[in-house]
Chains A and B, each alone.
Chain A
Amino acid sequence: MIDVIEYTKLYGDTVAVRSLSFRVAPGDVLGLVGPNGAGKTTTLRALAGILQPTSGSIRIADIDLHTDPVAAKSRLAFIPDEPQLFDYLTVTEHLQFVARLYGVQDAAPRIPVLLEELELTAKKDALPTELSRGMKQKLAIACGLLHRPSALLLDEPLTGLDPVGIRRMKETIAARAREGAAVILSSHLLHLVEELCTRLLVIRQGQAVALGTIAEIVEARPELAGRSLEEMFIALTGDDAVS
């Protein structure tokens, strides 16, 4: 469960995100979409405990991220758009590192399973410098999944993946949601969002302009009826959009 209540982030006088409130239930996949600079990454980073909110509160699995950050962080996983890996640890060692860091009790049997699931077994002794962009992305995702997070935050998770990799990754994300994780996925690939996400949060200039299932959004904005998701996105986030 992810609860965001009146989250606001200011950089000096600049508003990055203003009064954002939403909830992602276990099993839900929320698609976070918006134009460049809308505040998507800022929102995800706040949810991951990387950025301190200016005001508002964030709860991960009913734990307040501000008052008990360690407990909250132990329940979430954040996979950034640019994989952040240690160049001197092999693929397997990355997972061992994460296992120790998060106190994963059954890491020994889980690591080979995850490597297999993400097609990394053949590369288990490789260093990140020896991996392709897509492989690095898979490793970052494997690290995020090892401790079975209750909240999974993915920023452009399919960047650099080949078509087969994209398919496997979609299955992996859907499987985690089925297992009860609350998932937030930020992406510009609207067909992916449409296919994977149960609900959408559209933000523009740091403010929510639409939240809900596509049907709920259309119900609230009848003029969007019959349009494709791409047309809806442009209508909601374009210069002539009315918030």
Chain B
Amino acid sequence: MPQPPAPVPAMLFLYRRTAANRLRQQVARAKSPRYLAAVVMGMLYIWWALFRNAQLGSGPLAKLVETDIAVPIASAFLLLSAARWWLFGGERSALAFSQAEVQFLFPAPVSRRQLVHAKLMRMQLAILLNTLIFSVLLRGGGGSVEGWQRGLSLWMLFSTLALHRLGASIVHANAMEHVGTARRRLIVPLLVFGAVLAAVIFGVVTAWPLLRVASLSGVKAVLLAITDALRATVPAAALWPVRAVLEPVFLGGGTKWLAAMPWAVMILSLHYLWVVRLDKAFEEAALEATQHRAERQRRLRASQMGNSRSRKGKLATVPSLALTGRPEMAIAWKNVVAALRGGAWRTQLLTFTIGLAALAAVTRSASDRAGDVFMGVTFAWGAMLLFIGPLWMRFDLRLDLPRLAMLKTMPLPGWRIVAAEIAAVTALHSITVWSLMVVPLVMFLQEPALLAESGATIPIIVSVAVGVPIFNALMFTIQNGTALLFPAWVRLGTEARGFETMGQNLLTTGATTLVAAVALVFPVGLGALILWITNDWGGWSVLVATIMASAVVMAELWPLLLWLGGVFEKIDVSEVAAST
């Protein structure tokens, strides 16, 4: 007697065995001393990042939940994120299955509803991991909330967000593929979302005069003014569903938490029922998203993002390559072409620069204070770009690792290949950061008198301009070095996105920053020593200190590049192939 099909146990088996085999593979990898050392360092780092405030009895982000502004600001942020999913289709990757899942699950006797549940099950792994990370980060904050209460609240929050993203993606993808009924189905949520957004914008616009006054007193005052605006009747009512799932995370005290939970459970349940009822649209949308993801992954491996041709079929013009000369220039050129064609870097840079220049002119015209605030924001953005840019911009070895076999046949020593891979992306990212200089430039052009009264500004700007490429070279070397040393851990795509992976991304960025900080101990120390000796903290000694610090960074990078070249020559292609 044949057994009836049992898709749910089969899927559970698939995910359980996948997780177990992946773990086993990672453990086996740790037999290599290199990976073992990294695992130990990683564990120490995670312990440091998550538990360093253990003596104080609270997590590093615990104070965040105790502030008055957290819930309204987070509600508005989540609403904007959700609006993006509805307006622009969200992330199709939320719908996608792996190619193997499509091959085995879709032709199998599995109902559409079971497919939806398979997707929900798979999403839980990332949700649970993030719940754990954020539970630790937020522990102790918010008064008497127990650990399990915060964990449950976070799990409900992340699950609701994931369900909402999934639902929005299904409806949007379906509407894009079909006309008529499917497209009409998008109108209702868009109208609802439009009304909610309008209510929030109405609240902010109503409070505009107060916001202007607050802008004179700094960022904190602005945030408080926005919070007050969002607490007004209309925007508060519009934001209620978002706040309902957020509040249990932030509320202190057992009774308050118990009172808030039923609403959060209701919102989560409604989301679940909604997504499950979308099962008919899900199958088709998931197939389409899987195909789209496969195509995107293929492009990511080759050119990071986007289409190489414009809609009219034209290729972006690129600098021509001389057929003779230093061979490593060919590698650097190839990466520049990737950025121009694959990443539309030039268009983004131009848009970014023009936008900055316009904002600089507008803010300086509005008031000196507004101009100063914008200048401060630009500096902060620049500093952030220096750290985040090397994670985003991957026109280097990380892009080429899947073609490692081909790279290894190139008639060049390993260190020259590694250096060429890093050089192009360093130059491109330096230009991106330099483009921020348009802000002070526009302001000086508006008011030439500022130039004479600028004091420390000019030496600092020149020093930053000199230091940026060196700092970028260091950051990109760290990123590429990590890819070379631990190719099995390198992620080439950006599939793992959304709220589910926020915690992991937070940890990865922190780890990179930590390595950079160690590398900068000597250069920064030398720079500080020069400034201390000259006692000229705002003059041209800053430039001298920057040049000397840059020289030390270069002295650190040189042996590092030679060593990474050796690693490149010895690396086994099978190690990389397993990860791609």
Residues of A that sit less than 8 Å from B by CB: 11, 45, 48-52, 69-71, 73-74, 76-78, 80, 84, 86-90, 93, 96-105, 107-108, 125, 127-129
Chain A nearest CB from B395 CB (Å) reads 10
- Give the chain B neighbours of A129 by CB distance below 8 A: 298-299, 302, 308
A97, B330: Cβ atoms closer than 8 Å: yes
Residues of B that sit less than 8 Å from A by CB: 298-299, 301-303, 308-309, 315, 321-325, 327, 329-331, 333-334, 337-338, 341-342, 403, 405-406, 408-413, 569-570, 572-574
A45, B322: Cβ atoms closer than 8 Å: no
State the CA gap A108–B327 with chains docked (Å): 16
Chain B nearest CB from A93 CB (Å) reads 7
- Give the chain B neighbours of A102 by CB distance below 8 A: 327, 411
The listed residue (B327, B409, B569) touching A100 by CB distance below 8 A is: B327
Residue of B nearest to A99 (CB): B323
The contact sample of 10 A-B pairs, CB cut-off 8 A, is: A48-B409, A50-B409, A76-B409, A86-B403, A88-B302, A89-B334, A96-B323, A97-B330, A108-B323, A129-B308
B337, A89: Cβ atoms closer than 8 Å: yes
The listed residue (A70, A97, A125) touching B412 by CB distance below 8 A is: A70
A127, B309: Cβ atoms closer than 8 Å: yes
Chain B nearest CB from A129 CB (Å) reads 7
State the CA gap A76–B574 with chains docked (Å): 22
Chain B nearest CB from A182 CB (Å) reads 16
A103, B302: Cβ atoms closer than 8 Å: no
Assess A88 versus B572: contact at CB under 8 Å? Given A74-B411, A104-B323, A108-B323: no
The listed residue (B337, B341, B406, B570) touching A84 by CB distance below 8 A is: B406
Residue of A nearest to B307 (CB): A129
B342, A88: Cβ atoms closer than 8 Å: yes
Known pairs A73-B411, A90-B315, A96-B321. 13 more at Cβ < 8 A?
Answer: A45-B405, A69-B413, A80-B405, A88-B337, A89-B337, A97-B330, A97-B333, A100-B322, A101-B331, A101-B412, A102-B411, A103-B327, A108-B323
Residue of B nearest to A52 (CB): B570
A-B CB proximity, top 6 nearest: A87-B302, A74-B411, A100-B330, A73-B411, A84-B406, A88-B341
State the CA gap A89–B318 with chains docked (Å): 10
Chain A nearest CB from B284 CB (Å) reads 25
A103, B324: Cβ atoms closer than 8 Å: yes
- Give the chain B neighbours of A128 by CB distance below 8 A: 302
State the CA gap A108–B405 with chains docked (Å): 27
A50, B410: Cβ atoms closer than 8 Å: no
Residue of A nearest to B414 (CB): A69
Chain B nearest CB from A242 CB (Å) reads 31
A51, B299: Cβ atoms closer than 8 Å: no
- Give the chain A neighbours of B309 by CB distance below 8 A: 127
- Give the chain A neighbours of B308 by CB distance below 8 A: 87-88, 127, 129
Residue of B nearest to A108 (CB): B323
- Give the chain A neighbours of B330 by CB distance below 8 A: 97-98, 100-101
- Give the chain B neighbours of A74 by CB distance below 8 A: 411
- Give the chain B neighbours of A90 by CB distance below 8 A: 315
A100, B574: Cβ atoms closer than 8 Å: no
Residue of A nearest to B330 (CB): A100
- Give the chain B neighbours of A69 by CB distance below 8 A: 413, 569
Residue of B nearest to A82 (CB): B405
A45, B573: Cβ atoms closer than 8 Å: yes
State the CA gap A87–B408 with chains docked (Å): 19
Chain A nearest CB from B532 CB (Å) reads 47
A97, B334: Cβ atoms closer than 8 Å: yes
State the CA gap A225–B148 with chains docked (Å): 78
State the CA gap A77–B324 with chains docked (Å): 19
- Give the chain B neighbours of A99 by CB distance below 8 A: 323-324
A51, B303: Cβ atoms closer than 8 Å: no
State the CA gap A135–B420 with chains docked (Å): 29
- Give the chain A neighbours of B329 by CB distance below 8 A: 100
- Give the chain A neighbours of B570 by CB distance below 8 A: 52
Chain B nearest CB from A69 CB (Å) reads 7
State the CA gap A87–B337 with chains docked (Å): 10
- Give the chain B neighbours of A127 by CB distance below 8 A: 308-309, 315
B408, A100: Cβ atoms closer than 8 Å: no
- Give the chain A neighbours of B569 by CB distance below 8 A: 69
A100, B325: Cβ atoms closer than 8 Å: yes
State the CA gap A50–B409 with chains docked (Å): 6
The listed residue (A45, A93, A101) touching B410 by CB distance below 8 A is: A101
- Give the chain A neighbours of B321 by CB distance below 8 A: 93, 96-97, 100
Chain B nearest CB from A103 CB (Å) reads 6
Residue of A nearest to B316 (CB): A88
A107, B323: Cβ atoms closer than 8 Å: yes
A11, B331: Cβ atoms closer than 8 Å: no
A86, B338: Cβ atoms closer than 8 Å: yes
- Give the chain B neighbours of A78 by CB distance below 8 A: 409
State the CA gap A108–B410 with chains docked (Å): 20
A100, B324: Cβ atoms closer than 8 Å: yes
- Give the chain B neighbours of A45 by CB distance below 8 A: 405, 573
Chain A nearest CB from B580 CB (Å) reads 12
State the CA gap A16–B274 with chains docked (Å): 54
State the CA gap A50–B574 with chains docked (Å): 10
- Give the chain A neighbours of B331 by CB distance below 8 A: 101
A50, B405: Cβ atoms closer than 8 Å: yes
- Give the chain B neighbours of A11 by CB distance below 8 A: 574
State the CA gap A86–B301 with chains docked (Å): 9
- Give the chain B neighbours of A125 by CB distance below 8 A: 315
The listed residue (B322, B324, B342, B412) touching A87 by CB distance below 8 A is: B342
State the CA gap A171–B341 with chains docked (Å): 36
A88, B338: Cβ atoms closer than 8 Å: yes
Chain A nearest CB from B117 CB (Å) reads 36
State the CA gap A235–B322 with chains docked (Å): 53
- Give the chain A neighbours of B315 by CB distance below 8 A: 90, 125, 127
A50, B327: Cβ atoms closer than 8 Å: no
Chain B nearest CB from A228 CB (Å) reads 34
State the CA gap A97–B335 with chains docked (Å): 11
Indicate the member of B341, B408, B570 with the most A CB atoms within 10 Å. B408
Residue of A nearest to B395 (CB): A88
B323, A51: Cβ atoms closer than 8 Å: no
B411, A101: Cβ atoms closer than 8 Å: yes
State the CA gap A100–B194 with chains docked (Å): 55
Assess A100 versus B302: contact at CB under 8 Å? Given A50-B405, A52-B570, A84-B403: no
Chain A nearest CB from B123 CB (Å) reads 30
- Give the chain A neighbours of B338 by CB distance below 8 A: 86, 88
State the CA gap A50–B403 with chains docked (Å): 11
State the CA gap A56–B333 with chains docked (Å): 37
Chain A nearest CB from B340 CB (Å) reads 8
A100, B323: Cβ atoms closer than 8 Å: yes
A70, B324: Cβ atoms closer than 8 Å: no
B334, A50: Cβ atoms closer than 8 Å: no
State the CA gap A71–B413 with chains docked (Å): 10
- Give the chain B neighbours of A71 by CB distance below 8 A: 411
A93, B337: Cβ atoms closer than 8 Å: yes
- Give the chain B neighbours of A86 by CB distance below 8 A: 302-303, 334, 337-338, 403
- Give the chain A neighbours of B323 by CB distance below 8 A: 96, 99-100, 104, 107-108
B408, A50: Cβ atoms closer than 8 Å: yes
- Give the chain B neighbours of A89 by CB distance below 8 A: 334, 337
The listed residue (B334, B342, B403, B411) touching A70 by CB distance below 8 A is: B411
The listed residue (B298, B325, B408) touching A49 by CB distance below 8 A is: B408
- Give the chain A neighbours of B334 by CB distance below 8 A: 86, 89, 97
